Structure 1
């Protein structure tokens, strides 16, 4: 019995044979994965070449030395006109105007295909659904699914790790504030997220290490939590109980090519971040000019990662149409540490992730 099925079987145990409880647990898990599928994708256990690329690295490899491919606004792959239209009845409760779907889409493939193709870092934007009852995924005011809750999608990651125990996943959680007319990052919402992240399942699958990144060996089969949120409406003990690295949104400079955040003051551990998502080009600049500014900012930050302190964390957001230019840069960066890099439409061009993973 897999780890996650074992947890579910225990929770659903009846005074009958273990085989019956195992069947019930499998059915319960499948129900969860089906609900998660609009974001996670339809679960299939397979092992293509890049699904277990971390096997090539020894257990004593520091995580900050690895090159980790990720996706920016990861949950947006299924947001098209049909999705927007099907959700209109529920999203009208948010009392906001949602622009055309193309405005919000940054990916083309579901989470399970991202994982199987080597992606290990996910940018997740959450808030309350329009009924203020469950946490779901958004990009701005665009509700990405009503059925795929944060909790359900996490079970997809848990199952994938059971099937690929050599791997480590980085999940960045950020509250999306512009979802509804009266949206609020209030105590109820924060408590909802906290309860998800300290559940029995989460405590098993999230690495229970705080304010530092260790070696790959201890992180295999686990999730590293990157907390781009505050629990400032709750007692400080709630924040203390969460694992992972904390990047307070109050300290994350908006639209900046060069952010420095200390995530462990005792050890003076710093993350250097590039999140320059809207290049400040002169008024009237063309899309080509905007992309050039974005590429230059991303390239500068990756060069800084390649030459910077090897114990520092480097995190870059290579969004904004720079993928093709990045391929040639990556080909000239063999043997360099570039850190976590978040891509838009990561499978375009097809050689991008292959090149990144063979640095």
Structure 2
């Protein structure tokens, strides 16, 4: 065999190896947000297998996580980021203010979570899109593009599943994060790249059937491309929830995401209970629980072909002492919150919704109590 023929016969192998190495590099870079990639074929990693292809996505019960990327935002992370965040010239409060999860995205996927709340902005060097929660820089290494490749790989390994990704520009990140045309163009390029076109469901302003969405991502666009020509927005798939129409701290939001078909989303995002000053944790938890349950009950009884999106997450840092996201979700572990937080109180409520549609529900610290997601998936 000639050297030329030998090289040609090796070319596909070399190309495949390089592609594998490149993917591994991207997944390694994504680790601070996505977590270390592991393949899991347990029942909860493929729970959508039990649903028929004809199932409408708006009829499904989808467990999700609020501020999904914050799981790794510890004091150690904050300290490690300080050299970068100092460029933003802001003082970042304690990590408990921002941390809403404790397990990485890969674990969330393998444990049944299918909807993710991702907050992006330009990094402090004004170079690339990364993840934030308010002032908190979650990682300088893991870019939006890197993390998407983690989702792509997971979908290749779990082709029966579909994922909902909510992207929102995090506007409170200070100096370099103005949502200008440069930043919007970066996001547009990421979401219209060849890989994204393959993995994102390309329908627009409508959720279809599970069979058409298996192995793909449903984009929930909680951002505008208002600094770019209209043609850029027209080219994006998914459902558009303009920030200008999403009522801040709204317990009862109604958004029409398809005007021609009058397709409507009913949303609860009452993230900071407006309790009286110096209210206690029990009161804040109760107000948040009441708003959460009210929207879920509407999902079980009304507008069966509409989208219901409920956020079980909350905080009240204006209190003294503050009620961090963990306290609203799980209680403070003392006699002052004997019934736990919203998550614990949702367990008996959800048990009573067997056989009903509850829609998309976003949790903080979704893994506690341990039966929460099991009960949700058994509805």
TM bucket (normalised to shorter chain) is: over 0.9
Q: Does 1:252 align with 2:246?
A: yes
Instruction: Report the equivalent of 1:243.
Output: 237
Instruction: Report the equivalent of 1:358.
Output: 378
Distance 1:251 1:46 in 2: 39
1:208-357 equivalences under 5 Å are 208-320=202-314, 321=329, 322-357=342-377
Instruction: Report the equivalent of 2:52.
Output: 58
Distance 1:182 1:335 in 2: 48
1:42-57 equivalences under 5 Å are 42-57=36-51
Instruction: Report the equivalent of 1:165.
Output: 159
Distance 1:220 1:183 in 2: 34
Q: Please state how far the C-alpha of 1:16 moved relative to its aligned partner.
A: 5.1
Instruction: Report the equivalent of 1:109.
Output: 103
Q: C-alpha offsets along residues 281-328 of structure 1, whole Å, 9 cap, x if unaligned? A: 112211110110000111111000000111100000011320000000
2:123, 2:176 within 8 Å by CA — same for their partners in 1? no
Which of 14, 21, 36 is matched with 2:15 structurally?
Answer: 21
Which of 136, 140, 152 is matched with 2:134 structurally?
Answer: 140
- Counterpart secondary structure, 1:315: strand
**For structure 1, which runs of at least 5 residues remain unmatched after alignment?**
1-13
Q: Please state how far the C-alpha of 1:107 moved relative to its aligned partner.
A: 0.2
Instruction: Report the equivalent of 1:7.
Output: none
Q: Does 1:201 align with 2:221?
A: no
Distance 1:18 1:45 in 2: 25
Q: Which runs of 4+ in 1 moved over 2 A?
A: none
- Counterpart secondary structure, 2:252: strand
Q: Please state how far the C-alpha of 1:46 moved relative to its aligned partner.
A: 1.8
Q: Please state how far the C-alpha of 1:254 moved relative to its aligned partner.
A: 0.4
Which of 65, 71, 78 is matched with 1:77 structurally?
Answer: 71
**For structure 2, which runs of at least 5 residues remain unmatched after alignment?**
1-7, 315-328, 330-341
Distance 1:275 1:258 in 2: 8
Q: Please state how far the C-alpha of 1:181 moved relative to its aligned partner.
A: 3.0
Q: Please state how far the C-alpha of 1:183 moved relative to its aligned partner.
A: 2.8
TM-score for both structures, normalised by structure 1: 0.95
Query: How many equivalent pairs are there?
Result: 346
Q: Please state how far the C-alpha of 1:73 moved relative to its aligned partner.
A: 0.2
TM-score for both structures, normalised by structure 2: 0.90
Distance 1:293 1:61 in 2: 34
Q: Please state how far the C-alpha of 1:44 moved relative to its aligned partner.
A: 1.2
Pick the structure with greater CA Rg.
2
2:33, 2:69 within 8 Å by CA — same for their partners in 1? yes
2:126, 2:176 within 8 Å by CA — same for their partners in 1? no
2:131, 2:138 within 8 Å by CA — same for their partners in 1? yes
Which of 123, 126, 137 is matched with 1:129 structurally?
Answer: 123
- Counterpart secondary structure, 2:120: strand
2:123, 2:177 within 8 Å by CA — same for their partners in 1? no
